[in-house]
Amino acid sequence: MSVLVRDDGGGNDAEINSSTAVNDGVWHNFALTRTGGTIALYLDGTVIGSSTDADASGNITTASTGNYQEIGREGLWVQLGFGTIDQRYLAATFDEYRVSNTVRSAEWIKTDYNTQGTPASTFSLGAEIAATCGDGTVIAGEGCDDGNIVSGDGCTGSCTVETGYSCVGTAPSVCTTVCGDGIVAGSEGCDDGGTTSGNGCSATCTVETGYHCSGAPSTCTVAMFSWYKTVTIDRTKVGTTSAPTTISNYPVLFSVTDSALAVTGGHAKSTSGYDIIFRGLDTVTCGGPAVCTLPHQIESYNSATGAIVAWVNVAGLKTRTNTADTTFRVMYGNTAITTST
């Protein structure tokens, strides 16, 4: 198979000569793409050659009459009486032409070949099923039937229970989300795999004030605090050599003067220190959730200097017999907090 693109003036041409024999008496799919002066030839969905020439970048007439009918023969040879009949015309039968004004990709051409050559191999047809799904009555083979064939409401369009939902009843089914299963579904704003409030995702799977939750199971973090610093408590200053590895509910005294905690020249927003809070980041420090807000009480706060004296209730304070120090965050810079937390 040879492909030649040029005008009938006889200028330089872009030409592809394939070494693959196709005179085998069966149908083949050929595709030719042209981008500027480059042409590429595909045989049965696979590219078999390309050629580049500036003269191949001109317009190609695609009218129903005129030069469009030259497809399949070399117009210049016919004009000059050059060559044999086999050189002038392609000795083959054409079934169908398709012309696109968009350059199709190799994937597009391969798909065209597959679907035209063996269309039945490109899809499968399921068994016949009686259209009872959506009538509001659960029958054998249906996991639910809520009276419609709309997915996303707990019962799919094929009457199966969707992940994250529980459906009860048979005429019709009533589907609700399962809070605590770690799957965010329906109207749930979050689902951290539990039903404990105070860690960002409430017992009813709503995002708690001041938190941002993402993922499934959800991970919740404080959303509106612009800044934080990490507080590290030296475990060698906690307990004795015979003490347990943690002390429960210990009130840590946090007393610093830090300009970053000031409103004037710093990043805190409340002159009363309301937007300064403390966050635990592990299950030992929090005494449960991996992320928690530690209860605290501010004894004094100077918004001009950033001097603060606060008591922070740490659920599990690591002692000198532990292998790690206690760390938590002091977070600040939240314009949404205007009252004491």
What distances in angstroms separate CA 337 from CA 210, 225, 295, 332, one per listed residue?
Answer: 9, 10, 16, 10
Calculate mean pLDDT across residues 208-234.
Answer: 83
Banded model confidence at residue 74, pLDDT cuts 50, 70, 90: low
Kindly report the average pLDDT of the chain as a whole number. 85
Q: Which tops the pLDDT comparison, 330 or 292?
A: 330
Instruction: Quote the tokens at residue 164.
Output: 């994250």
Asked whether the predicted pLDDT for residue 19 surpasses 80, the reply is yes
Asked whether the predicted pLDDT for residue 146 surpasses 80, the reply is yes
- Tell me the torsion sign for CA atoms 282, 283, 288, 289: positive
User: Nearest 5°: phi and psi at 67?
Assistant: -65, -20
Q: Is residue 160 within 8 Å of 144, Cβ to Cβ?
A: yes
Strands (E), 258-289: 277-280
Q: Is residue 225 within 8 Å of 337, Cβ to Cβ?
A: no
Nearest to 112 by CA among 185, 55, 30, 233: 30
Peptide bond into 217 cis (omega under 30): yes
Model pLDDT for residues 271-287, shown as the tens digit of each residue? 999 999 999 989 999 99
Coil vs helix vs strand at 128: coil
Instruction: Quote the tokens at residue 30.
Output: 């050929």
Across 20-24, 111-115, 309-313, 330-334, the highest mean pLDDT is recorded for 309-313
Calculate mean pLDDT across residues 147-162.
Answer: 89
- In this predicted structure, what is the pLDDT of residue 68? 52
Share of the chain above pLDDT 90, in %: 46
Asked whether the predicted pLDDT for residue 308 surpasses 90, the reply is yes
- In this predicted structure, what is the pLDDT of residue 216? 85
Q: Is residue 148 within 8 Å of 159, Cβ to Cβ?
A: no
Q: Is residue 325 within 8 Å of 254, Cβ to Cβ?
A: no
Query: 183: Cβ–Cβ under 8 A, 6 or more apart, which residues?
Result: 163, 164, 191, 216, 217
- In this predicted structure, what is the pLDDT of residue 234? 95
Calculate mean pLDDT across residues 119-147.
Answer: 85
Model pLDDT for residues 26-73, shown as the tens digit of each residue? 999 999 998 888 889 999 999 999 998 876 666 665 555 555 555 666
Q: Where are the alpha helices (DSSP H) in the chain?
A: 75-80, 85-88, 106-117, 283-286
- In this predicted structure, what is the pLDDT of residue 10? 62
User: Nearest 5°: phi and psi at 276?
Assistant: -105, 115
Nearest to 296 by CA among 281, 283, 314, 271: 314
Helix (H) and strand (E) counts in the chain:
4, 16
Q: What pTM does this model have?
A: 0.40
Measured from the Cβ of residue 30, the count of other Cβ atoms closer than 10 Å reads: 17
Asked whether the predicted pLDDT for residue 190 surpasses 80, the reply is yes
